[in-house]
Amino acid sequence: MGLVIAIDGPAAAGKGTLSKRVAQAYGFAHLDTGALYRAVGVGVLRAGGDPADAAAAAQAARALRPDDGILNDPALRSDEAAQAASKVAAVPEVRAALLDFQRTFAATPPGGAPGAVLDGRDVGTVVCPNADAKLFVTASVEVRADRRLKELRERGIPAIPSDVLEDMKARDARDSQRTVAPLLPAADAFVLDTSALDADQAFAAATAFIGTKTGFGPKV
């Protein structure tokens, strides 16, 4: 088993961009665990169901396969998919169905990679509690809402700032207050607040921490 780096945090904190860059820099495999939940949410919606319906969500999770292509579906990047993912993630049966997928990826990274970077909501606390390095990437809800607003507008999606902020607050509450694997930093995680950091600064802080935990620096 190679090195495992767990990167958790709330929506629009920058963990996705950071995780991909860290994986590339170290030559590790990368898994956006949130994409799994988005895929489940989209699967429920496409079947005409309600993502809050535990039975429908569990059925969609059990049907998910790593080679069916849905993890690369552009629909997973929609705000609708994000909201659906937050709802299905609160279903214990969904989390159980996806846990083995994530742990197998971490234990045996595809392509013979020497390690894996997993980003999500509960990687450091539940999926890989023994990860070699754990980070919790966060930012103020106002900053994150501004980032999401910019992202939506760049994609040509009309959005009202106050609605985006309220949606962000509601999602934070749902993620942090759920009884199963709530969103919170692992006790030994490095909390990285990106509110006032650009991508390069966040990357530098993350790799410095990873170096102290593993003794390794980025290859590129």
Mean pLDDT of 82-100: 89
15 is in an annotated binding site: yes
13 is in an annotated binding site: yes
How confident is the model at residue 67, as a pLDDT? 67
20 is in an annotated binding site: no
- Retrieve residue 105's tokens: 């990826």
How confident is the model at residue 101, as a pLDDT? 84
How confident is the model at residue 182, as a pLDDT? 85
How confident is the model at residue 189, as a pLDDT? 97
54 is in an annotated binding site: no
How confident is the model at residue 157, as a pLDDT? 86
Residue 191 phi, psi (nearest 5) = -85, 115
Exposure string of 171-201, with b = 16+ CB inside 10 Å and e = fewer, is bbebbeebeebebebbeebbebbbeebeeee
| Residues in the chain, overall count | 220
Which of 5-9, 20-24, 77-81, 123-127 comes out lowest in average pLDDT? 77-81
How confident is the model at residue 99, as a pLDDT? 92
How confident is the model at residue 89, as a pLDDT? 85
What is the C-alpha to C-alpha distance for residues 118 and 32, in angstroms, rounded to an integer? 6
Q: Give 200's contacts (C-beta < 8 A, 6+ positions apart).
A: none
- Retrieve residue 38's tokens: 């988005």
How confident is the model at residue 68, as a pLDDT? 72
How confident is the model at residue 21, as a pLDDT? 97
Cα–Cα distances (Å) from 172 to 31, 42, 66, 158, in that order, read 22, 20, 28, 22
134 is in an annotated binding site: no
35 is in an annotated binding site: no
Q: Dump pLDDT digits (tens) for 130-185.
A: 999 999 999 999 999 999 999 889 988 889 999 999 999 998 888 888 777 788 99
Q: Percent of the chain having pLDDT more than 90?
A: 67
What is the C-alpha to C-alpha distance for residues 36 and 96, in angstroms, rounded to an integer? 12
Sheet with 29-32: list strands edge to edge. Answer: 29-32, 115-120, 3-8, 133-138, 190-193
Mean pLDDT of 179-200: 92
55 is in an annotated binding site: no
What is the C-alpha to C-alpha distance for residues 37 and 40, in angstroms, rounded to an integer? 5
What is the C-alpha to C-alpha distance for residues 182 and 147, in angstroms, rounded to an integer? 23
Identity at 28, one-letter amino acid code: F
Mean pLDDT of 107-132: 93
What is the C-alpha to C-alpha distance for residues 166 and 85, in angstroms, rounded to an integer? 17
Provide the mean pLDDT of the chain. Answer: 91
* DSSP secondary structure letter of residue 112: G
